[in-house]
Chain A
Amino acid sequence: MNDKKKIRVACVGNPNCGKTTLFNALTGSRLKVANWPGVTVEKIEGQTSYEGYEIALLDTPGIYSLTCYTIEEKVTRQCVMDDDIDVIINIVDASSLERNLYLTLQLLELGKPVVLALNMMDIVKERGMEIDLHRLPEMLGDIPVVPVSAAKRTGLDILLHAVLHHYEEEKGAEYTLQYPEEIENKIAKLEVMMQAHYPTHSSVRWHAIKLLEDDEEVKSEHPIQVGNIVDKSYEKEIISCKYAYIESVVKEVLFHKSRKAATTDKVDRLLTHEWLGLPIFLCIMGLVFFLTFTIGDALKGVFEMALELFSEKAGAFLLRIGTSDWLISLIVDGIITGVGGILTFLPNICILFFALAILEDSGYMSRVAYVMDSIMGRVGLSGKAFLPMLLGFGCTVPAIMATRALETEQDRKKTMIITPFMSCSARLPIYVIFSEMFFPDCAGLVAFSFYVIGMAVAIITALVLNRIQKGHENNSLLIELPEYKRPNGRTVGIYVWNKLKDYLTKAGTTIFLASIAIWFLLNFGVTGMVEDTADSFGAVIGRLLVPVLAPAGLGMWQIAVALISGISAKEVVVSSFSVLFGVSNTNSAAGMAAIVANVQAVNPAFGPLNAYCLMLFCLLYIPCVAAVATIKKESGSWKFTARLMAFQVLTAWLFATLVFQIGSLFIS
C-alpha cells in the first residue's frame, strides 16, 4: 500500500546553470556534471520524497528558449509541454539573471506552476552584486523564488517545500507579461480559437503567442485556421517585449552591476589568445597524456604484484581442491590472465579521467571550441564539433552521444564519422604494452604519437568529406563561455568514479566473456581439446586472414585472432595477446619480455615496425561493439553504421600497410 501523493517535477533552465548538480543533490544520483553548456543530452528521471509526497524529478538538457534548435533541446521542450508535469523548477543562474529570465518569462506563459531556484548566489556575492529577493518575485507575479546552492547543497528543503506549497495552492494561471495592445488583441482572438478547437488544452495563451511567432512545431501540433490574425510573424516584437521587461526587472532587483568578474577575463586573455591559444591547448593535452603514462606506470607495480600473487595462489588452491586440469587452465590462463591483465591499467585510466574531469569542470571546454574553430572551420565544421572529439579521448560512447548538441544533421553525421578516430582510454593499454615492449627507449613518445595521428586522421577525414559533400561554409560557432571556477571535488569524484565503475564492469562482463571465448577458441580444435594452439579453431580462423594482414606487417594468425576479439572491447587485444602467448602478467617487465620472446619464436621478423603497425591498426579500426551500437542508435541507420565500420577497417588497413611498406624500405 502506498498512500503517498505523487507529483512530477521537471528541472528546466539554461545550459550550464546547474540543473544536474541540483538534480544530483535532490535525488542522491550521481549523474555527470561539468562546466560547459551541453553536458546533459538526455532526459533523466529520479525519485525523492518530501512531506508525504513522492516526487518524480526530471533532469532535462539545458535550453535558452522554448523555440528549439538542436535535438537535445527538443527533448526538453517535449518534456515541459507534457501534461503530466505538475510543477516546473526553473533553475536560474543568478550571475546572469538577465539572459536566464528570458526562459522564465516563457515558462510562466505556459501557465503551469513555476518555482524559481536562484542558483549560484555565491558568484553573485563574490562579484559584489546584490539581488533584491523581495522585489524579484513581485515582478514575476509572486511565484516562489528560492535562493539555493546546488553545489553546496543549501536551500534544498526550502525549495522542495516551495514546490509542494505552490502545487497545493491551486491558484489560477501564473503571471504573464502584457504585450502592447495590438499584440494582446491578436493573442485574445487566437486564445478563443484555440479554446474552441482544443477545449482541454492547458496552455492556450502560450500556444496563441507561439502562433503569433509563427512557430513551426506549434503550427503542426495544433493546427488551426488563423486567417488574417497572423498577418506576419510577430516574433521579433514579442522577444523584444520580453527583453525590455527583463531589463526593467534587472534594473529594479540587481545592484552594483558594474563590478565585473575580472579573473575570468584575465585568464581568457591568455587561454583564448590569438596566437597562444592553440599551442597552450596542445601543451595541456600533452601534459594530460604525459601524466597518464608516467604516474600511471609508477603506480601499476602494486597492481602487478597483487595480480601475480593472486594468480599463483588461485592456481595452487584449485590444484589442492582437486580441480580438473582444463578448468584450472580456463580459470588461470583464460580468466585471470585476460581480466587481471586489464585491471593493471586502472591507474592509467584513473589519471586520464581525473585530468579530463578537471578540464571539463574548470570551464575550459568552451574555450577549446573557440580555439579550435579556425582549424575546424577549414574542414567545414564548427569549433563546437571538437567537443565530442575531445570527449572521445575518454570514451567513444559518450562522445558520440554528445554530437546531439550540434546544430545540423550533416554536422552530426560528420562528427560521428571522425570521433572514433580519437584515441579512447580502451586503446591505452595497447600502447602501454607494445610501446614498452618494442620501443623501451621512447615508449612515451611512441604512445603519444597515436593521439596525434588519431586527431590528424580525424581532421583529414573531415576535410575529404567536406570536399565530397561540397560542404557549406556557413557552419558557425555559437557557444556560451562560462566563468572559470575551481573544479569541485565531488564533481570530479563522481566523474572519475563513474568511469572506473564502467571500466570494472567492462572487465567483469565483456572482457571476462571475451577471455573465456578466446580460451575456448585456442584450446579446442576439430579433434576436441588440443595440445598445440596451432591446431585450434582460433588458428584456423586466424589463418584465413593472414594473407590480408601480411602487407601491413601483421601476418600472424595470433594477431588476426587478437584483432577480431578486440572488436568486443579494445582492451581485449591485450588480454588475447596474454592468453595467446601464455603470459599471465602482461603489464610487467618479465611478462613483456616473455611476450616478445614468444612472438619472435613464432615470427622472428616481428620487430618494432610491426608493433607500430599493430598499434596503428588498433587506433583506427572499429572501436568496439558498444561504440558501434551507439553510432547505430544515434544515427538511426544500419546502413550508415555498416558503411562507417567498413570505412574504419579500410582506413586502418591502408595506414598500417602504408607505414609498413615505407618503413620496410628504410629498415632493409
Chain B
Amino acid sequence: MTLYEAQKNQEYTIAGLFVEEVVTRRLQALGLNDGTKVRVLNKKKRGALIIQVRGTRLALGKHLSSNIEIRKEQG
C-alpha cells in the first residue's frame, strides 16, 4: 500500500520511495529510508498528510504520499 492510503494514528514502515530522483534524495536526507518507521498524525481526505518520522513532523503532499510504499507495522 502507499502512504496516501494510510490511516490516521497508525504506524507504518517505509518499503520504497518511487518519486523523482531529486525528491528521493531529499526524502532520504530527511530520514525517510527503507525500513524507517513513520506515524501518521493527521490527514485530509484527498490531499496532504502529516507524518512523524525520527522525532520530527513533516507535511507531505498528495503526489509524494501516493508514491511512497509502506508496510503496516505488525501488532
Contact = CB atoms under 8 A, between A and B. Distances in A.
Contacts of A383: 48, 59, 61
A257 B54 CA distance: 11
A107 to B, nearest CB: 13
A497 interface: no
Interface string B30-64: 11011010000111111110100011111111111
B28 interface: yes
B34 A373 contact: no
Nearest to B35: A240
A527 interface: no
A373 B48 CA distance: 7
A374 B54 contact: no
Interface in B10-33: 20, 22-23, 25-31, 33
A578 to B, nearest CB: 47
Contacts of A295: none
B26 A480 contact: no
A279 to B, nearest CB: 14
Contacts of A382: 61
Contacts of A236: 28, 33-34
Nearest to B17: A236
B55 A95 contact: yes
A478 interface: yes
Interface in A35-50: none
Interface in A365-400: 366, 369-370, 373-374, 377, 382-383
Contacts of B60: 476-478
A67 interface: yes
Contacts of A506: none
A272 B43 CA distance: 9
Contacts of B28: 235-236, 239
B31 A102 contact: yes
B interface residue count range (under 10 / 10 to 19 / 20 to 34 / 35 or more): 20 to 34
B48 A269 contact: no
Nearest to B28: A239
A374 B33 CA distance: 26
Interface in A231-287: 235-236, 239-240, 243, 257, 264-265, 268-269, 272-274
A374 B46 contact: yes
Contacts of A65: 25-26, 29
B50 A481 contact: yes
Contact of B61 (A67, A264, A477): A477
B6 to A, nearest CB: 15
A99 interface: yes
Contacts of A369: 59
Contacts of A274: 42-45
Contact of A473 (B34, B45, B47, B63): B63
A243 B33 contact: yes
Nearest to B57: A481
Given A102-B29, A236-B28, A477-B48, A366 B54 contact: no
A243 B53 CA distance: 13
Nearest to B34: A240
A369 B23 CA distance: 18
A513 interface: no
A96 B54 contact: yes
A64 B29 contact: yes
B29 A374 contact: no
A370 B60 CA distance: 8
Contacts of B26: 64-65, 69, 478
Interface string A46-81: 000000000000000000110101000000000000
Nearest to A376: B61
A97 interface: yes
A474 interface: yes
A126 B43 CA distance: 27
A410 to B, nearest CB: 14
Given A268-B42, A476-B64, A373 B29 contact: no
A377 B62 contact: yes
B63 A474 contact: yes
B63 to A, nearest CB: 4
B48 A67 contact: no
A257 B22 CA distance: 32
Contacts of B58: 478-481
A360 B1 CA distance: 36
A130 interface: no
A651 to B, nearest CB: 29
B50 A272 contact: yes
A99 B46 CA distance: 28
Residue among A67, A382, A477 with the most chain B CB within 10 A?
A477
B62 to A, nearest CB: 7
Contacts of A476: 23, 60-64
25 contacts: A64-B29, A98-B54, A98-B55, A99-B54, A99-B55, A102-B31, A235-B28, A240-B34, A243-B31, A243-B33, A264-B57, A268-B57, A273-B42, A369-B59, A373-B47, A377-B47, A383-B61, A474-B20, A475-B61, A475-B63, A476-B23, A478-B59, A479-B59, A480-B30, A481-B57
The 7 tightest CB contacts between A and B, nearest first, are A477-B61, A476-B61, A65-B29, A476-B63, A481-B57, A370-B59, A98-B54
